[in-house]
């Protein structure tokens, strides 16, 4: 049954999508779902139901922790609210135009991990920085490489990004400290963990959907000059941790059922704990678009990602590390094989040597005032296409 909410049809936010967010329409933070160009105050609609306690706190945290049966019950309630004509009179007063509300980071980010799951991104970056060696490190096809990031600097879409300062060193010069000259974007998808797992108990790939609540877009802002000077031997540190933006809307896994596709063919046999399981695969056919100042500079295809969400979870917990409610696991930069499918300016500009046309201008790296927006669409269960909540941010000058 289609939604009775006007504007829902064809919007990418139809009744088969219903992503979750936290908004304020003037009365404080509320849990809502997006439908068309509106947000439905789900907490208000659910007030007399048995799931009301999961929605009453002005954050998704209680819902995330409640697990798959509760996720399914709440999704059914949301779906029924926006499709059943008999409910229209009771539900309609709780719709707010999405342009009229303020959106917040919808859950408490626990641990943030950023992976490196695109073979095309890893190959391009490897060829750039290690031209004399194999572009993929020897471990790359055997495990999803990642690093532990900084949860406290994750911000919601729309938050301004202040150009970071840091230490860098140009070739042959002494180290300097100042505003980054090589501010970049990284287009990524992030998995949001709902149900945690105990320390000491690895989570197998087949348990993925019992732990992961949904996904959102993520921009892993990166200061390439700071990163290049600091990253050996322990990996990214301050070049990444000044800000990470996430979309305001969390798309539940159930909404992505029609987007599930096989991951790319495996060129190396995987160890049993990482093996692609039987049943529906967890590659995801998401089409990303990266915009700089309103011009699309790249269209990264997520279906080309080598490592799937279940493999990221299985690897992260394979040593017994616990999952916690609100863990944010980012895919790593999404890049496809074609030059206009790369998810970073580092790749698009060939390490700053080939300016990328955007609008009437061009960029190698980001300038103050630039607006970066990452969007994505995917096949939806109703036969159309859903739109993930976009992630956007404007670059502000470094602070004095």
Query: Any idea which residues carry the catalytic annotation?
Result: 121
- Site residues (CB under 5 A) for Ca ion, limited to 38-67: none
Tokens of 332: 């790593």
Closest separation in Å from C-beta 388 to Ca ion: 17
Which whole-number Å values give the CA distances from 375 to 36, 96, 119, 189, in the listed order?
Answer: 16, 22, 21, 10
Closest separation in Å from C-beta 78 to Ca ion: 32
Our measurement of the distance from residue 8's CA atom to the centroid of its chain's CA atoms, rounded to an integer in Å, reads 23
Cβ atoms 330, 189 nearer than 8 A? yes
- Report how many residues bind Ca ion under the rule CB under 5 A: 3
Cβ atoms 388, 217 nearer than 8 A? yes
Contacts of 258 (CB under 8 A, 6+ apart): 378, 379, 380, 381, 383
- Figure out which of the listed residues 186, 230, 341, 370 binds Ca ion, where binding follows CB under 5 A: 186
**Rounded-to-integer distance, Cα 223 and Cα 290, Å:** 18
Q: Which is nearer to Ca ion, 78 or 190 (CB)?
A: 190
Closest separation in Å from C-beta 298 to Ca ion: 15
Binding mask 95-114 for Ca ion (x = CB under 5 A): -------------------x
Hunting for tokens 């159309």 — which residue is that? 384
Rule CB under 5 A: is residue 347 a binding residue for Ca ion? no
Closest separation in Å from C-beta 332 to Ca ion: 5
Rule CB under 5 A: is residue 220 a binding residue for Ca ion? yes
Stretch that binds Ca ion, among 48-56, 121-129, 179-187, 282-290 (CB under 5 A): 179-187
Closest separation in Å from C-beta 46 to Ca ion: 36
DSSP 261-272: EPPPPPSSPPPG
- Site residues (CB under 5 A) for Ca ion, limited to 107-146: 114
Closest separation in Å from C-beta 373 to Ca ion: 17
**Rounded-to-integer distance, Cα 187 and Cα 120, Å:** 13
Q: Which is nearer to Ca ion, 118 or 195 (CB)?
A: 118
Cβ atoms 160, 393 nearer than 8 A? yes
Q: Which is nearer to Ca ion, 214 or 236 (CB)?
A: 236
**Rounded-to-integer distance, Cα 155 and Cα 244, Å:** 6
Stretch that binds Ca ion, among 151-159, 183-191, 353-361, 370-378 (CB under 5 A): 183-191
Q: Which is nearer to Ca ion, 114 or 341 (CB)?
A: 114
Q: Which is nearer to Ca ion, 224 or 260 (CB)?
A: 224
**Rounded-to-integer distance, Cα 339 and Cα 222, Å:** 20
Q: Do you find a cis peptide bond into 233, omega within 30 degrees of 0?
A: yes
**Rounded-to-integer distance, Cα 393 and Cα 365, Å:** 15
Q: Which is nearer to Ca ion, 114 or 347 (CB)?
A: 114
3-state SS class at 394: strand
* Interface contacts to Ca ion, rule CB under 5 A: 114, 186, 220
């Amino acid at each position: 049954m289609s939604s009775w909410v006007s504007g829902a049809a064809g919007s990418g936010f139809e009744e088969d999508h219903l992503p979750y967010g936290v908004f304020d329409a003037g009365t404080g933070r509320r849990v809502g779902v997006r439908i068309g160009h509106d947000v439905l105050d789900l907490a208000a609609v659910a007030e007399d139901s048995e799931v009301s306690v999961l929605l009453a706190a002005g954050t998704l945290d209680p819902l995330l922790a409640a697990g798959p049966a509760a996720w399914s019950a709440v999704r059914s309630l949301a779906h029924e609210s926006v499709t059943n004509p008999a409910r229209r009179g009771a539900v309609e007063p709780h719709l707010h135009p999405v342009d009229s509300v303020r959106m917040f980071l919808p859950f408490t980010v626990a641990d943030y991990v950023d992976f490196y799951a695109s073979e095309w991104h890893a190959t391009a970056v490897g060829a750039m920085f290690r031209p004399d060696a194999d572009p993929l490190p020897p471990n790359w096809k055997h495990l999803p490489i990642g690093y532990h990031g900084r949860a406290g600097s994750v911000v919601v879409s729309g938050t301004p990004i202040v150009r970071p300062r840091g230490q860098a060193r140009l070739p042959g010069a002494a180290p300097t400290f100042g505003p980054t000259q090589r501010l970049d974007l990284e287009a990524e998808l992030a998995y949001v963990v709902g149900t945690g797992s105990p320390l000491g108990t690895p989570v197998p790939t087949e348990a993925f959907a019992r732990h992961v609540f949904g996904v959102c877009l993520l921009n892993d802002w990166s200061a390439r000059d700071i990163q290049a000077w600091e990253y050996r031997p322990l990996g990214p540190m301050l070049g990444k941790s000044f800000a990470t933006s996430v979309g305001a809307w969390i798309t539940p896994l159930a909404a992505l059922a029609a987007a599930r596709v096989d991951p790319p063919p495996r060129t190396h046999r995987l160890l049993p704990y990482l093996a692609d399981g039987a049943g529906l695969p967890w590659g995801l056919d998401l089409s990303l678009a990266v915009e700089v100042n309103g011009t699309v500079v790249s269209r990264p295809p997520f279906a080309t990602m080598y490592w799937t969400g279940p493999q990221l979870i299985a690897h992260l917990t394979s040593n017994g590390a616990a999952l916690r409610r609100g863990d944010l696991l980012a895919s790593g930069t999404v890049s496809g094989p074609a030059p206009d499918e790369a998810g970073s300016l580092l790749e698009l500009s060939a390490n700053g040597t080939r300016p990328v046309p955007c609008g009437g201008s061009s960029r190698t790296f980001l300038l103050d005032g630039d607006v970066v927006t990452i969007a994505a669409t995917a096949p939806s269960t109703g036969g159309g296409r859903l739109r993930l909540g976009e992630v956007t941010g404007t670059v502000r000058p470094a602070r004095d």
